[in-house]
């Protein structure tokens, strides 16, 4: 950026261009004053003069020749060229230049011009025990990025110096360059470890209508900025062999460069394809600082440096690809607004007027009033008249010469008056004409300027529309090319699919013919199997019907026996042939020893009914035999009766009948038939059976006997068919009175006896 001795680089050339262009139009020092919010103010002449006096009072070394002494370290890099300047500079403005120098180190911003007391780090020692000068300094406090009212990014608290020449600006740059961080690596002896930014700000403000003083309105002040950025190069650790702090610095440098590449790629994608993706400016301080440059508030130019060595081929190739991609990014710059509505060229007109006034004062020796100018104009008119005739008075008594002279003079006087009046009229008419012409010219000029501004806006809009359409055309051409390639691929796929479809259709036809043959074969097998299974099902259904009829007949017989037991009034005890036969048989004793003779007797346990919380009628016929089982049915608060009576049923709401019969194995089986007691409309009591509990006793030593079922009695009446299933049995209600011997299946509504009063 600085160039080499004898050949100045980018920085001295830019400074020469700026100061050669604005040299005669620079304002005095401290007329412009920068604030802390990225703005600029214009001070009055008194405040600027006071600040200049304070600066002049400070001890500043001066050269005998009056020129600024240049540091010999960079004197060869500055080569001032007067012919290098910009022609389109507004001559009615005054300008001032401010410079600042910052660096971005490890993603932190530091001010290189800050006049802070730095302490050098202790010197290092080489192999010869000689101290090596270390140029590193303890880093100062980092600065903060902020956004001003115009959404431009700036560094708060950064030192900004006002300069008036290229030498002074380069001296400030060189002072900050000495504080920049550099280090020694395997590839570079003085490798930059940070990104540096040299900022040049140009403040300009217009002169007033007289061209003497600077306008102090803040809206009329324009602040331009030029940032010269020296980016640190990307590094590969396998080549630089960086460790410790150098490795950390290389990582931060590569990360910031990668963020810059990402931002440019997103900008390129948004412009080419019309997307609106968010650009990640805040991922790095480098991109965040120059956010407004990419958003359309300026122009960006990139200069890429490559190394011609063969071992750097890959890195140079990546850099060139990155530069090629950045060329496709276009940043729209806003249109510059006019500073003020004053007449252009007022500075030189005022200067010419002052020079002419001074010249006339010098020629006249005093002030010039309006009468003198009017007399000189009259003299000019009189000089156009014919000369007077010569007249000589030779004789004092000559009476003709003087009257002739008087007559001629009177005529000349009259002519002069006539010419003066005509001249005054012409002047007045000319002034009126000039005023009308000026007013018409001003109105036409305003009209033309309005039309011109409208045309410029129209042209700008058409240019933007043209650019947009060109971008759209490029995008559409790219899409058409992609679609053509895609169509070619689809046609090839279509041909392949058609061939595959034909082969598949032939295969399907063969499979369909095979399927028809297989279906015909399977239909014959299905018909044969169907006939076979129909016969088998008919046989199984007939067997099942016979089995169900036998089971139904057995149930009917059991229910008839139950009916006979319930309705039988006689007290007959059932025989127990199985027990008698068991007693006749000798008891086989086991080989195990006999039990202890003094064993305590077993206490009988009563089985508690599940409905023990209610009042019951316990109907136990006299024919029931007592069983010596441990579990015995027991209902508390029950009324035990041998035959059901109306009196007992009236006191209870539950009914239980105990019935005993011989099982198929010869043991006694006890059944508890339960029911609910409720009142009838006639005032009697009715019982509806709900469930049956079975208690069965088995002998562990006895074996099961097979007993043939007894021949059931033929049904006596049609009422026996009601006992064929459980639902029918549970839905039958029994109603009894005292002394009644009626059984289930019969209902008797008895009238309650009335007590005598």
pLDDT tens-digit series, residues 224-263: 999 999 998 887 777 777 788 888 888 899 899 999 999 9
Percent composition of the chain: helix, strand, coil (DSSP 3-state, to 5): 45, 15, 40
| Whole-number pLDDT of residue 638 | 85
State how far the alpha carbon of 667 is from the alpha carbons of 170, 578, 625, 696, in Å: 129, 7, 12, 8
Structural Rg of the chain based on CA atoms: 65
Q: Looking at per-residue confidence, does 557 or 373 come out higher? A: 557
| Whole-number pLDDT of residue 372 | 42
Separation CA 649–CA 734 (nearest Å): 11
Q: Looking at the predicted structure, is the pLDDT value of residue 709 above 70?
A: no
Q: Where are the beta strands (DSSP E) in 65-181?
A: 93-105, 108-111, 124-125, 131-132, 145-147, 153-155, 161-163
Separation CA 578–CA 22 (nearest Å): 141
Out of 53-62, 99-108, 161-170, 476-485, pick the least confident: 53-62
Q: Looking at the predicted structure, is the pLDDT value of residue 590 above 80?
A: no
Q: Crossing angle of helices 245-273/401-567, nearest 10°? A: 100
Q: Looking at per-residue confidence, does 403 or 742 come out higher? A: 403
Task: Please tell me if the domain spanning 1-114+137-230 has the same topology as the one spanning 234-333.
Answer: no
Give the mean model confidence (pLDDT) for residues 698-720: 48
User: Do 563 and 721 meet the contact criterion of CB atoms below 8 Å apart?
Assistant: no
Separation CA 303–CA 301 (nearest Å): 7
Separation CA 157–CA 142 (nearest Å): 10
202: Cβ contacts below 8 Å, ≥ 6 apart: 18, 22, 95, 96, 97, 223, 224, 225, 226
In the chain, what percentage of residues exceed pLDDT 90? 22
pLDDT band at 733 (very low <50, low <70, confident <90, very high): very low
Sign, Cα dihedral of 678, 681, 686, 691: negative
User: Do 233 and 192 meet the contact criterion of CB atoms below 8 Å apart?
Assistant: yes
Q: Looking at per-residue confidence, does 519 or 3 come out higher? A: 519
For the stretch 5-28, pLDDT in tens is 667 788 888 888 899 889 888 988
Q: How far is CA 570 from its chain centroid?
A: 98
Q: Looking at per-residue confidence, does 752 or 170 come out higher? A: 170
Q: Looking at per-residue confidence, does 208 or 364 come out higher? A: 208
Give the mean model confidence (pLDDT) for residues 477-485: 91
pLDDT band at 337 (very low <50, low <70, confident <90, very high): low
pLDDT band at 123 (very low <50, low <70, confident <90, very high): very low
pLDDT band at 300 (very low <50, low <70, confident <90, very high): confident
Which residue from 160, 179, 159 is spatially nearest to 114, judged by alpha carbons? 159
| Whole-number pLDDT of residue 705 | 45
Question: Going by CATH, does the domain composed of 616-621+635-694 fall within 2.60.40.4330?
Answer: yes
Separation CA 87–CA 21 (nearest Å): 7
Give the mean model confidence (pLDDT) for residues 738-750: 39
Question: Which of the given ranges, 35-39, 390-394, 519-523, 581-585, has the highest pLDDT on average?
Answer: 519-523
Separation CA 26–CA 105 (nearest Å): 35
Sign, Cα dihedral of 702, 706, 710, 715: positive
Separation CA 718–CA 299 (nearest Å): 117
Give the mean model confidence (pLDDT) for residues 714-719: 42
For the stretch 438-466, pLDDT in tens is 888 888 888 998 898 999 999 999 999 99
Give the mean model confidence (pLDDT) for residues 326-334: 76
Helix (H, G, I), strand (E, B) or coil at 287: helix
User: Do 190 and 182 meet the contact criterion of CB atoms below 8 Å apart?
Assistant: yes
| Whole-number pLDDT of residue 637 | 77
| Domain range list for the chain | 1-114+137-230, 234-333, 401-561, 616-621+635-694
Tell me which residue has tokens 């590839």: 187
Q: Count of H helices and E strands in the chain? A: 14, 23
For the stretch 652-682, pLDDT in tens is 888 888 888 877 777 788 888 888 888 887 7
Calculated CA dihedral for residues 638, 640, 641, 642, nearest 10 degrees: 140
Out of 71-85, 231-245, 294-308, 527-541, pick the least confident: 71-85
Which residue from 19, 3, 147 is spatially nearest to 89, judged by alpha carbons? 19
Determine the CATH number of domain 234-333. Answer: 1.20.58.980
Sign, Cα dihedral of 388, 389, 393, 397: negative
| Whole-number pLDDT of residue 384 | 54
| Whole-number pLDDT of residue 386 | 52
pLDDT band at 117 (very low <50, low <70, confident <90, very high): low
| Whole-number pLDDT of residue 462 | 92
Q: Looking at the predicted structure, is the pLDDT value of residue 127 above 80?
A: no
Which residue from 423, 313, 412 is spatially nearest to 378, judged by alpha carbons? 423
In the chain, what percentage of residues exceed pLDDT 70? 73
The CA-to-CA distance between both ends of the chain, in Å, stands at 139
Question: Going by CATH, does the domain composed of 1-114+137-230 fall within 3.40.50?
Answer: no
| Whole-number pLDDT of residue 487 | 92
């Amino acid at each position: 950026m600085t160039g080499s001795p004898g050949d100045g680089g980018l920085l001295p050339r830019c400074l020469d261009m700026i100061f050669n262009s604005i040299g005669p139009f620079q304002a005095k020092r401290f007329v412009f004053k920068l604030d802390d919010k990225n703005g600029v103010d214009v001070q009055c002449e008194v405040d600027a003069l006071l600040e200049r006096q304070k600066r002049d009072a400070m001890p500043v070394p001066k050269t005998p020749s009056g020129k600024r002494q240049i540091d010999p370290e960079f004197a060869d890099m500055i080569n001032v060229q007067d012919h290098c300047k910009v022609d389109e500079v507004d001559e009615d403005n005054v300008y001032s230049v401010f410079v600042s120098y910052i660096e971005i180190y490890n993603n932190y911003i530091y001010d290189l011009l800050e006049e802070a007391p730095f302490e050098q780090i202790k010197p290092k020692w080489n192999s010869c025990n000689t101290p090596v000068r270390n140029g590193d300094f303890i880093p100062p406090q980092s600065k903060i990025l902020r956004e001003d009212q115009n959404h431009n990014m700036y560094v708060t608290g950064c030192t900004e110096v006002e300069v008036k020449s290229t030498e002074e600006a380069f001296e400030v740059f060189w002072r900050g360059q000495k504080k920049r961080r550099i280090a020694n690596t395997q590839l570079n002896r003085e490798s930059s470890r940070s990104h540096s930014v040299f900022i040049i700000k140009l403040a300009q403000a217009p002169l007033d209508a007289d061209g003497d003083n600077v306008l102090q309105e803040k809206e009329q002040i324009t602040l331009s900025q030029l940032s010269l950025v020296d980016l640190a190069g990307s590094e590969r650790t396998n080549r630089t062999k960086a460790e410790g702090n150098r490795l950390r610095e290389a990582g931060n440098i590569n990360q910031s460069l990668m963020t810059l590449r990402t931002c440019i790629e997103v900008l390129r994608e948004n412009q080419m394809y019309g997307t609106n993706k968010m650009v990640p400016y805040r991922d790095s301080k480098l991109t965040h600082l120059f956010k407004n440059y990419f958003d359309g508030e300026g122009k960006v130019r990139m200069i890429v440096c490559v190394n011609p060595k063969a071992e750097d081929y890959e890195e140079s190739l990546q850099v060139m690809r990155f530069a090629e991609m950045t060329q496709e990014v276009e940043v729209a710059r806003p249109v510059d607004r006019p500073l003020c509505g004053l007449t252009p060229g007022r500075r030189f007109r005022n200067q010419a007027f002052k020079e002419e006034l001074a010249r006339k004062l010098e020629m006249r020796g005093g002030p010039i009033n309006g009468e003198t100018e009017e007399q000189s104009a009259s003299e000019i008119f009189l000089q156009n008249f014919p000369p007077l005739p010569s007249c000589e008075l030779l004789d004092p008594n000559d009476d003709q010469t003087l009257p002739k002279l008087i007559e001629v003079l009177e005529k000349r006087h009259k002519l002069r008056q006539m010419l003066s009046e005509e001249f005054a009229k012409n002047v007045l008419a000319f002034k009126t004409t000039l005023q009308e012409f000026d007013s018409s010219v001003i109105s036409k000029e305003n009209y033309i300027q309005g039309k011109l501004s409208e045309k410029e806006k129209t042209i700008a809009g058409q240019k933007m529309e043209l650019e947009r359409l060109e971008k759209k055309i490029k995008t559409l051409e790219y899409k058409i090319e992609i679609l053509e390639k895609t169509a070619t691929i689809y046609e090839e796929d279509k041909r392949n699919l058609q061939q595959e479809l034909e082969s598949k259709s032939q295969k399907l036809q063969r499979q369909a013919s095979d399927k028809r043959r297989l279906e015909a074969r399977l239909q014959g097998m299905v018909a044969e199997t169907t006939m076979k299974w129909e016969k088998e099902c008919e046989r199984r259904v007939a067997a099942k019907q016979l089995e169900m009829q036998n089971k139904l007949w057995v149930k009917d017989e059991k229910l008839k026996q139950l009916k006979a037991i319930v309705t039988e009034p006689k007290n007959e005890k059932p025989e127990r042939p199985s027990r008698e036969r068991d007693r006749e048989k000798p008891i086989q004793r086991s080989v195990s020893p006999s039990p202890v003779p003094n064993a305590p007797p077993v206490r009988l346990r009563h089985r508690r009914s599940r409905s023990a919380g209610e009042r019951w009628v316990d109907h136990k016929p006299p024919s029931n035999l007592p069983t010596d089982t441990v579990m015995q049915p027991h209902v508390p608060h029950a009324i035990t009766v041998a035959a059901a009576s109306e009196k007992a049923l009236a006191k209870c709401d539950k009914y239980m009948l105990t019935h005993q019969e011989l099982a198929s194995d010869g043991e006694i089986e006890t059944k508890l038939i339960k029911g609910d007691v409720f009142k009838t409309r006639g005032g009697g009591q009715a019982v509806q059976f709900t469930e049956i509990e079975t208690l069965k006793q088995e002998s562990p030593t006895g074996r099961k006997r097979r007993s043939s079922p007894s021949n059931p009695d033929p049904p006596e009446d049609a009422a026996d068919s009601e006992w064929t299933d459980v639902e029918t049995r549970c839905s039958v209600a029994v109603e009894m009175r005292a002394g009644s011997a009626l059984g289930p299946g019969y209902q008797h509504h008895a009238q309650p006896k009335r007590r005598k009063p």
